[in-house]
């Protein structure tokens, strides 16, 4: 929801071996992925059925994150919520990466009127803040996690298109591409062998960064109530349900928030790490 590092410019320090931060980030993401695919392995309580007598209990050995107003185990809801809360950003990034890279490459390589038209389109997408654009798309498509994913994806197409185009332009005017042309390599071959591999690199790094941003956007939309209807657990929605009990039971809202933040922090850290590694190549 905010302007973050563009990876091409995010110059991290180059390290040979991953530092403790990177290892920790891998660990956090590994747990999140495990939760998404096999929640049963991490939490045995039911995410949807609670015991009313046990409601709003603070964190304990039995309920790690406490219980919510319906007596449901918050930890179990977070673990089971990982599936939707991570799949939606993944779909979003896939959409943005696919559409954005195609637009950017075509734009950067063909140039001329095609470039002008595509870049005006990108300008328009950039003129509306991405969260607002997602909201408008959700308003039009209707609620539900799939629509949220599509909305968040469309809203970040522009970033991918721009970075791929810039990279395509840079590589296209580089001496080695000029050399290839002079050697007699055909246009499409130049695009395939020289431009594409270079242009996709930064976009891949951007996609790890955008994945973090997409987690935030999806959870914000879910927090505002545009995701799946209850009682399906989603991270944003779990927080929003706990909001009303903040004064008496902070854990219902704040512990899931912490999980979201940790996941995003981990993806951002890995993104910087990939970027730094990429620079060495």
Partner 1 sequence: MAKYLASRALQALPVLLGTFTLAFVLLSVLPSDALSIKLSGSGDSALSQEEIARLRAEQGYDDPLPLQYVRQLGGLLTGDMGVSLHTGSPVVSMIGSALPHTARLAVAALLVGVTAGLVIGSLAAHARSRALRELLMSVPPLGISFPTFAVGLVLIQVVSFQWRALPSGGTDGFESLVLPALTLSLPVTATVAQIFARSLREVLDQGYIDTATAKGAGRLRLHLAHAVRNAAGPSLTATGMVIGNLLGGAVVTETVFSREGVGRLTADAVTRQDLPVVQGVVLLSALVFVVVNLLVDLTYPLLDRRVTLTEATR
Partner 2 sequence: MSAASPGRGVTVAPGPADGAADTGPLLSIEDLRVTYRVRGGTREAVRGVSLEVHAGQTVAVVGESGSGKSTTAHAVNGMLAPGARVTGGRITYAGQDVAALSRAGLRRLRGAEIGLVPQDPGASLNPTARVGDQIAEALVIHRIASRRDAAGHALRLLAEVGIDRPELRARQFPHELSGGMRQRVLIAIAIAAGPRLLIADEPTSALDATVSRRVLDHLAGLSAEHGIALLLITHDLAMAAERADRIVVLREGQVVEQGDARELITSPRRGYTRDLLADTPSLRSGRLIPARERRDEGEPLLKVRGLVKTFGRAGSADAVRAVDDVGFDVGRGRTVAVLGESGSGKSTTARILLGLEHPDAGSVLLDGTELTTLGAAGLRQARRRLQIVQQNPYTSLDPRFTVRRVVAEPLRAHKIGTPRERDARVEEMLDAVALPSDLADRRPRELSGGQRQRVAIARALVLRPEIVVCDEPVSALDVTVQAQILDLLTRLQRELGVSYVFISHDLAVVRQIADEVLVMRHGAVLEHGSAEAVFAEPSHPYTRDLLAAVADPFHQPRAEHPDAADRETAR
Give the length of the chain.
281
Please report whether residue 185 would count as binding partner 2 according to CB under 8 A. yes
Name the token pair of 217.
Answer: 């956007």
Q: How far is the CB of 169 from partner 2 (least distance, A)?
A: 15
d(CA 97, CA 206): 9
Please report whether residue 61 would count as binding partner 2 according to CB under 8 A. no
Please report whether residue 281 would count as binding partner 2 according to CB under 8 A. yes
Q: Which is nearer to partner 2, 118 or 169 (CB)?
A: 169
Rounded to the nearest angstrom, the gap between the alpha carbon of residue 96 and the centroid of all alpha carbons in its chain is 10
Q: How far is the CB of 6 from partner 2 (least distance, A)?
A: 21
183 contacts which partner out of partner 1, partner 2, none, CB within 5 to 8 A by kind?
Answer: partner 2
Q: Which is nearer to partner 2, 5 or 279 (CB)?
A: 279
**Candidate ranges 109-117, 119-127, 193-201, 206-214; the one touching partner 2 (CB under 8 A):** 193-201
User: Quick one: which of 136, 185, 196, 204 contacts partner 1 (CB under 8 A)?
Assistant: 136
> How many other C-beta atoms lie within 10 A of the C-beta of residue 245?
16
In the region spanning residues 8 to 37, those forming contacts with partner 1, defined by CB under 8 A, are: 9-11
N-to-C CA span, the chain: 31
Please report whether residue 188 would count as binding partner 2 according to CB under 8 A. no
d(CA 264, CA 272): 12
Sign for the pseudo-dihedral over CA of 193, 196, 202, 207? negative
Q: Which is nearer to partner 1, 83 or 212 (CB)?
A: 212
Please report whether residue 219 would count as binding partner 1 according to CB under 8 A. yes
Q: Which is nearer to partner 1, 164 or 219 (CB)?
A: 219
User: Quick one: which of 178, 225, 230, 250 contacts partner 2 (CB under 8 A)?
Assistant: 178
d(CA 95, CA 97): 6
Q: Which is nearer to partner 2, 61 or 281 (CB)?
A: 281
> How many other C-beta atoms lie within 10 A of the C-beta of residue 239?
23
198 contacts which partner out of partner 1, partner 2, none, CB within 5 to 8 A by kind?
Answer: partner 2
Which CA distances in Å does 254 have to 78, 221, 261?
12, 17, 10
Please report whether residue 179 would count as binding partner 1 according to CB under 8 A. no
Contacts of 273 (CB under 8 A, 6+ apart): 12, 18, 22, 25
Helices (H) and strands (E) in the chain, counts: 12, 0
Which CA distances in Å does 227 have to 84, 101, 130, 149?
10, 28, 17, 10
Residues within the interface to partner 1 (CB under 8 A)? 1-5, 9-11, 120-121, 123-133, 135-142, 212, 216, 219-220, 223-226, 236, 239-240, 243, 246-247, 250, 253-254, 257-258, 260-261, 264-265, 268-269
Residues within the interface to partner 2 (CB under 8 A)? 14, 16, 174-187, 189, 193-194, 197-198, 281
């Amino acid at each position: 929801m905010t302007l973050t590092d563009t990876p091409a410019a995010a110059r991290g320090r180059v390290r040979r071996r991953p530092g403790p931060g990177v290892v920790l980030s891998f660990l956090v993401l590994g747990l999140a992925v495990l939760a998404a695919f096999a929640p049963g392995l991490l939490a045995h309580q039911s995410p949807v059925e609670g015991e009313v007598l046990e409601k709003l209990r603070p964190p304990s050995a039995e309920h790690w994150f406490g219980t919510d107003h319906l007596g449901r185990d918050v930890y179990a809801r977070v673990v089971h919520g990982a599936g939707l809360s991570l799949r939606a950003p993944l779909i979003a990034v896939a959409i943005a990466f696919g559409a954005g890279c195609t637009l950017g490459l075509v734009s950067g390589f063909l140039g001329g009127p095609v470039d002008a038209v595509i870049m005006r389109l990108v300008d328009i997408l950039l003129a509306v803040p991405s969260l607002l654009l997602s909201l408008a798309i959700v308003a039009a498509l209707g609620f539900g996690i799939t629509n949220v994913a599509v909305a968040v994806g469309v809203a970040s197409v522009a970033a991918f298109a721009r970075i791929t185009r810039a990279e395509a332009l840079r590589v296209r005017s580089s001496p080695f591409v000029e050399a290839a042309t002079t050697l007699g390599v055909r246009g499409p071959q130049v695009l395939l062998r020289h431009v594409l591999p270079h242009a996709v690199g930064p976009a891949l790094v951007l996609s790890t960064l955008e994945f973090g941003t997409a987690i935030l956007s999806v959870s914000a939309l879910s927090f505002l109530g545009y995701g799946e209807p209850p009682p399906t657990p989603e991270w944003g929605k779990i927080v929003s349900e706990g909001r009303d009990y903040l004064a008496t039971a902070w854990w219902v809202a704040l512990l899931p928030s912490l999980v979201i933040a940790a996941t995003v922090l981990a993806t951002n850290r890995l993104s910087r790490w990939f970027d730094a590694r990429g620079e060495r190549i």
